[in-house]
């Protein structure tokens, strides 16, 4: 009988005591002669996946037993990397010279060689934690390549052609392009290169030009470079387009499957430029202090059959990607912007969650129904906020519903805060583009109560679905968030305590402890820095078939259910809800057609790619915008101070740049770690969080999307009005 992969791993980890040859393993696991060939194939597949590693003399071992770590490589802009272990645990630091040919995102095997202890600090630009005990090693094998193509600038030097990678995190070395693989590219063109050889430690990579995007100065090429650089799909295959057009010809009709709910007063609330409307709300009074709230989510599963061409394409994309100037959708526009979108005055199919609530925010009962609805309004966040503030008016029925929902949302928010749910109110940028795609303004997106209203009901819906699935013990796709590692929380504690924040020892940290810090930081000079430090100390949320809870939300069960137009996990959860709680066709314990573990892994990967692409597109346009202002003077506020300089957030635009310590020519400046300030050795001049300064735009690096400032001629810190004085006064009292 052939053993399972888990049995093989468990035997090598606990019973064997040493690496074993295939025949020794077979004897230990009682593998018969007739199964030996299949057993060797299984060993090979486990080795290929990195689950097992083959050492000298053809012996197999579990990686961690021989000081190896298997995981994804994350490369920093400085060229160093970190291996994030697939099985959990501490990251492994990899110095640039020990990456070998590995690239950002590759699945690799790293050999741990020693422990290092670095100074506690915030790293340049990204301001993430560095230091503390961490394993250090080198890459010895690449199991899976994350990139088969890279984007870069084509260059010719005499008779040699090469491509300089656009993102040095992806690839740190130039790519040689042979004469027969240059595809008519011209010097300075941005191109997509397919890598034909990843090279060796001494020999660089080589490739062939697959697509010429054109010079970076041409409108739209910069965003195309981001799209191709992250491997995002540009167009849908013809067969997927045909399937979408065919689905679009079928109009929603009330059937036995869908309850007619067109009498409900449903409306959507979205950004002003939104084209896909996943969710709508309705509310009805059930008597004194009782309401039925309907959370109506587009019934995408009705049009996207599991295993169909539309479904396969949506799964491969994983999520819609929202770039500065365009959306790369998960589903074709015939579905995402029309047939599945809850547009006003059109019949649309929905999966509705009806919640019976009291005025204390308690869910008395809930019910799932497939419905046909008709939205009355397409409202924007700004429009709803004006109504809530009394500065604008809608029809009486809609206004009454908005105020009821607002009051309930406030109760839900208070209940979440009481259990320790974290709320990161980190500012985001809105880039306004001109007709030619050139940025004309960059401003902060204000988070309004209307945003919080929608957020609370979406959180409630997601948590209700997850609790129901967990209670019914059915297979489901959960959104999980693990607690931070103790070493990260200890570094966070070392960062917070000098600023006057009380914080428990690493092993005792709970969400409520972090929440208290965030609350105390509100309105203070260091608020954004503290929020970012806490966020960076935490692990990523991801998708999983195991319900391990959501640390950030302080929730025992959580999932994603409310955005099936733009997130594949939500579509997968819809199918589970419909089968189990609406149609009741699945017996308890019966596996679902899709491999949910595969969906979870792929969706988590695609989510990370989307987040990086979205961030890069904003950073790129910020840099492009500030390049138009080279030499200009602005007023700003010091938003962070490090040993290498301080960051300044401009008052007029939501743009941050670095004043490097080397540009402070009037003195030698030293970093005081206790209160995050730079102090002149001779003049005692001090730069602190919250100080106001005047700066000139000195340089802009479009490749690295970095902006450098220098202090203006009239630059001065206005300490008398700076909230950072509170930090200094705390220090003087200690």
**Rounded-to-integer distance, Cα 637 and Cα 526, Å:** 11
Residue 394 placed within a domain: yes
Residue 321's nearest CA partner among 241, 231, 243 is: 231
* CATH label of the domain that carries residue 675: 2.40.50.140
What are the tokens at 538? 């935490």
pLDDT of 270 > 90? The answer is yes
Residue 223 placed within a domain: no
Residue 232 placed within a domain: no
Q: Which residue range forms the structural domain that includes residue 504? A: 486-537
Residues 382 and 515 in one domain: no
Model confidence at 124, pLDDT cuts 50, 70, 90, reads very low
Residues 160 and 178 in one domain: yes
pLDDT, average across residues 701-706: 86
Range picked from 141-145, 172-176, 401-405, 601-605 for highest mean pLDDT:
401-405
Residue 689 placed within a domain: yes
Residue that finishes a domain, picked among 64, 90, 108: 64
Beta bridge partners of 695: 634, 711
Q: Which residues contact 694 (CB under 8 A, 6 or more apart)?
A: 633, 634, 635, 636, 711, 712, 714, 715, 716
What are the tokens at 357? 């609530």
Beta bridge partners of 640: 647
pLDDT of 494 > 80? The answer is yes
Model confidence at 129, pLDDT cuts 50, 70, 90, reads very low
Residue 226 placed within a domain: no
Please report, in angstroms and rounded to a whole number, the separation of the first and last CA atoms in the chain: 70
626 phi/psi in degrees, rounded to 5: -75, -20
Residues 587 and 709 in one domain: no
Does residue 164 contact residue 153 with C-beta atoms inside 8 Å? yes
Residues 267 and 377 in one domain: yes
Lowest mean pLDDT among 260-264, 326-330, 496-500, 542-546: 496-500
Residue 375 placed within a domain: yes
* CATH label of the domain that carries residue 74: 2.40.50.690
pLDDT of 723 > 50? The answer is no
Q: Beta strands 439-445 and 92-94: pairing type?
A: unpaired
What are the tokens at 399? 């206004």
Residue that finishes a domain, picked among 615, 637, 661: 615
Residues 305 and 334 in one domain: yes
Model confidence at 714, pLDDT cuts 50, 70, 90, reads very low
* CATH label of the domain that carries residue 12: 1.10.10.10
Number of Cβ within a 10 Å radius of residue 232:
17
DSSP structure string for 153-175: EEEEETTEEEEEES-TTT-SS-E
Residues 501 and 532 in one domain: yes
What are the tokens at 316? 């491969």
Residues 47 and 82 in one domain: no
Residue 194 placed within a domain: yes
Beta bridge partners of 251: none
Burial letters 488-510, b for 16+ CB under 10 A, else e:
bbbbbbebbebbbbebeebeebe
Residue 231 placed within a domain: no
Residue that finishes a domain, picked among 144, 177, 200: 144
Residues 494 and 524 in one domain: yes
Q: How many domains does the chain have?
A: 6
pLDDT of 332 > 90? The answer is yes
pTM: 0.85
What are the tokens at 100? 């070998």
What is the rounded average pLDDT for all residues in the chain? 88
* CATH label of the domain that carries residue 202: 2.40.50.700
What are the tokens at 424? 């990161």
Q: Which residues contact 549 (CB under 8 A, 6 or more apart)?
A: 480, 481, 555, 556, 557, 558
Residues 609 and 497 in one domain: no
Residues 20 and 110 in one domain: no
Residues 466 and 324 in one domain: yes
pLDDT of 273 > 60? The answer is yes
Residues 288 and 406 in one domain: yes
Burial letters 582-608, b for 16+ CB under 10 A, else e:
beeebeeeeebebebeebbbbbbbbbb
What are the tokens at 284? 């009805």
Chain centre distance of CA 147: 19
pLDDT, position 255: 67
């Amino acid at each position: 009988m052939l053993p399972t992969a888990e049995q093989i791993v468990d035997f090598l980890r606990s019973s064997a005591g040493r690496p074993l040859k295939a025949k020794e393993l077979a004897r230990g696991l009682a593998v018969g002669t007739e199964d030996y060939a299949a057993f060797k194939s299984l060993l090979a597949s486990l080795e290929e996946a990195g689950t097992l590693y083959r050492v000298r003399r053809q012996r197999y071992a579990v990686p961690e037993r021989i000081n190896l770590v298997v995981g994804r490589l994350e490369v920093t802009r400085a060229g160093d990397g970190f291996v994030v272990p697939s099985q959990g645990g501490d990251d492994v630091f990899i110095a640039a010279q020990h990456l070998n040919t590995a690239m950002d995102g590759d699945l690799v095997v790293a050999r741990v060689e020693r422990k290092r202890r670095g100074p506690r600090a915030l790293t340049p630009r990204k301001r993430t934690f560095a230091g503390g005990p961490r394993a250090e090693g080198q890459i010895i094998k690449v199991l899976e390549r994350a990139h088969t193509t890279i984007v870069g600038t084509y260059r010719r030097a005499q008779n040699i052609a090469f491509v300089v990678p656009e993102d040095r995190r992806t690839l740190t070395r130039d790519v040689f392009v042979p004469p027969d693989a240059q595809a008519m590219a011209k010097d300075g063109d941005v191109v997509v290169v397919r890598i034909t050889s990843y090279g060796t430690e001494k020999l660089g990579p080589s490739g062939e030009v697959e697509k010429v995007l054109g010079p970076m100065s041409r409108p739209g090429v910069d965003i195309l470079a981001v799209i191709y650089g992250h491997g995002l799909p540009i167009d849908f295959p013809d067969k997927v387009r045909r399937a979408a057009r065919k689905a679009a010809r079928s109009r929603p009709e009330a059937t036995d499957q869908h309850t007619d709910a067109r009498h409900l007063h449903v409306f959507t609330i979205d950004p002003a430029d939104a084209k896909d409307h996943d969710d709508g709300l309705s509310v009805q009074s059930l008597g004194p202090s009782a309401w039925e709230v309907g959370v109506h989510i587009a019934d995408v599963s009705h049009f996207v059959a599991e295993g169909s061409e539309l479904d396969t394409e949506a799964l491969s994309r994983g999520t819609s990607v929202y770039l500065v100037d365009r959306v790369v959708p998960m589903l074709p526009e015939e579905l995402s912007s029309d047939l599945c979108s809850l547009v006003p005055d059109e019949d649309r199919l929905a999966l509705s969650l009806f919640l019976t609530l009291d005025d204390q925010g308690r869910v008395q009962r809930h019910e799932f129904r497939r419905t046909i609805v008709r939205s009355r309004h397409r409202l924007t966040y700004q429009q709803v906020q004006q109504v809530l503030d009394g500065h604008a008016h809608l029809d009486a029925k809609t206004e009454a519903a908005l105020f009821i929902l607002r009051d309930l949302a406030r109760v839900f928010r208070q209940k979440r805060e009481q259990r320790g749910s974290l709320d990161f109110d980190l500012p985001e940028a809105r880039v306004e583009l001109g007709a030619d795609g050139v940025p004309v303004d960059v401003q902060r997106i204000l988070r309004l109560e209307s945003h919080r209203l929608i957020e609370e009901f979406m959180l409630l819906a997601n948590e209700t679905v997850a609790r129901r699935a967990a209670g019914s013990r059915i297979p489901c796709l959960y959104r999980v968030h693990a607690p931070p590692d103790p070493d990260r929380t200890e570094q966070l504690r070392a960062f917070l305590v000098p600023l006057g924040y009380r914080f428990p020892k690493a092993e005792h940290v709970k969400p409520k402890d972090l929440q208290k810090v965030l609350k105390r930081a509100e309105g203070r000079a260091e608020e954004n820095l503290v929020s970012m430090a806490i966020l960076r100390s935490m692990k990523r949320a991801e998708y999983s078939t195991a319900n391990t809870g959501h640390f950030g939300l302080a929730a025992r069960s959580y999932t994603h259910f409310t955005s099936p137009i733009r997130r594949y996990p939500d579509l997968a959860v819809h199918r589970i809800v419909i089968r189990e709680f609406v149609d009741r066709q699945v017996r308890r314990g019966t596996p679902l057609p899709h491999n949910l573990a595969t969906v979870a892994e792929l969706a988590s990967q695609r989510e990370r790619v989307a987040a990086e692409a979205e961030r890069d597109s904003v950073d790129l346009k910020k840099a492009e915008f500030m390049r138009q202002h080279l030499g200009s003077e602005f007023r700003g506020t010091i938003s962070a101070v490090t040993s290498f300089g301080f960051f300044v957030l401009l008052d007029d635009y939501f743009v941050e740049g670095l004043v490097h310590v080397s540009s402070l020519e009037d003195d030698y400046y030293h970093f005081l770690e206790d209160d995050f300030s730079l102090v002149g050795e001779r003049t005692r001049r001090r730069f602190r969080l919250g100080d106001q300064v005047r700066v000139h735009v000195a340089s802009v690096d479009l490749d690295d999307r970095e902006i450098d400032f220098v202090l203006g001629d009239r630059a001065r810190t206005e300490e008398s009005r700076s909230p950072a004085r509170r930090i200094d006064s705390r220090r003087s009292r200690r």
